[in-house]
Amino acid sequence: MKLRHIEVFHTVYRYKSVSKAARKLNVSQPAVSKALQHAEDQIGFALFTRTGRGLVPTQQADLLFDEVSKVYAGVARVQRTSQDLRKALGGRLKISTVTGLSYEILPRAVARVRKSHPTMTFELQTLHYSDLIASLREFDTHIGLVFDAPGHVGLVRKVMGKCEYACVYKKHRFSKLTGRLPLKRVLKHDIISLNPSGPLGGKLWEEINSAGENLEAIVAAESCFVAKNLAARDVGVAIVDEFTASASGFEDLSHAKLKPGIEIEINVLYLEASPLSTAAKVFLEAFKTELDLWQKQNGK
């Protein structure tokens, strides 16, 4: 298969549609169909079964896609390396992050990099965890910054640091509190938690259950921002990451870390088949520096 055939096959496989693949590749539908037919003629077997609902990959296509993805990642890596060499770290770095890390640490890290490497540019997006993983696998982002990621086949996970869960509440609920907030006191209130289907919410439920307590949330939110917003309206008390908890924007709202504390890993994720570019390494060094500074400033 030629590189053009690989690109067409990879895109059609992802979208299961010639029309969607054509839009993604910015070519006509007949051009995609013709390239796909040429690829099938070259390799000697069908890649897709045509049905009324679209294209269904054959068993051979499923096996081939794994290898094609490695080639596709290699091409993307060559493109990034050439951009780094040509622009002296002037390439555009695509970063996806969960909400909590987008408030303080991400903007501070970008600002630090821009001071030392003014030709570097960024494309930033905040995503739910599952969407972030999909974005990495589809080569739509270079690195992902998340909380407490489990292992994923084909993805490298590295620890950048740690933080903690914190409780966000209207001040009248714990008006005389100083220091940390005992978990038992928190659980006496209506709890706004994170959806246990995600890493951050799942770990919270596991940690509380292992401590012999029972977490009965009145709301399980998909994002920390939504949970905090509900706490600001006194729906209950929210348990979120400490970055979200400390972010400004709401009056008469306070926060405190839990007692005992529950730690959260901060991870960077990237494709195993697509090692970090020089630009990504520069950014992650700045991210780690800003994370350490933030934690010193906030009593970590």
**Please, what sign has the CA dihedral across residues 108, 113, 116, 121?**
negative
Q: Residue 132, exposed/middle/buried by CB under 10 A (0-12, 13-18, 19+)?
A: buried
| Domain 89-160+265-297 part of CATH 3.40.50.1000 | no
Confidence of residue 85 (pLDDT cuts 50, 70, 90): low
| Torsions phi, psi for 296 (to 5 deg) | -65, -40
The domain locations on the chain are 3-83, 89-160+265-297, 162-264
Confidence of residue 89 (pLDDT cuts 50, 70, 90): low
Architecture of domain 3-83 in CATH?
Orthogonal Bundle (1.10)
Q: pLDDT digit string (tens) for 148-199?
A: 998 888 899 999 999 999 999 999 998 888 889 999 999 999 999 998 888 8
What's the CATH fold of domain 162-264?
A: D-Maltodextrin-Binding Protein; domain 2 (3.40.190)
CA 121, CA 192: separation in Å to the nearest integer? 37
Decide if 139 contacts 76 (C-beta within 8 A).
Answer: yes
Q: Which residues pair with residue 258 across a beta bridge?
A: 181
Tell me the average pLDDT across 288-297. Answer: 92
Q: Comparing 3-83 with 162-264, is the CATH topology the same?
A: no
- Token pair listed for 128: 């739910």
The model's pTM is: 0.70
| C-alpha torsion angle, residues 130, 135, 138, 144 (rounded to 10) | -100
268 has a pLDDT exceeding 90: yes
* Alpha helices in the chain, H assignment, sequence order: 3-15, 18-25, 29-43, 59-87, 99-102, 105-116, 129-137, 183-186, 199-210, 224-232, 242-246, 278-297
CA 25, CA 21: separation in Å to the nearest integer? 6
Q: Which of 155, 240, 157 has its CA nearest to residue 203?
A: 240
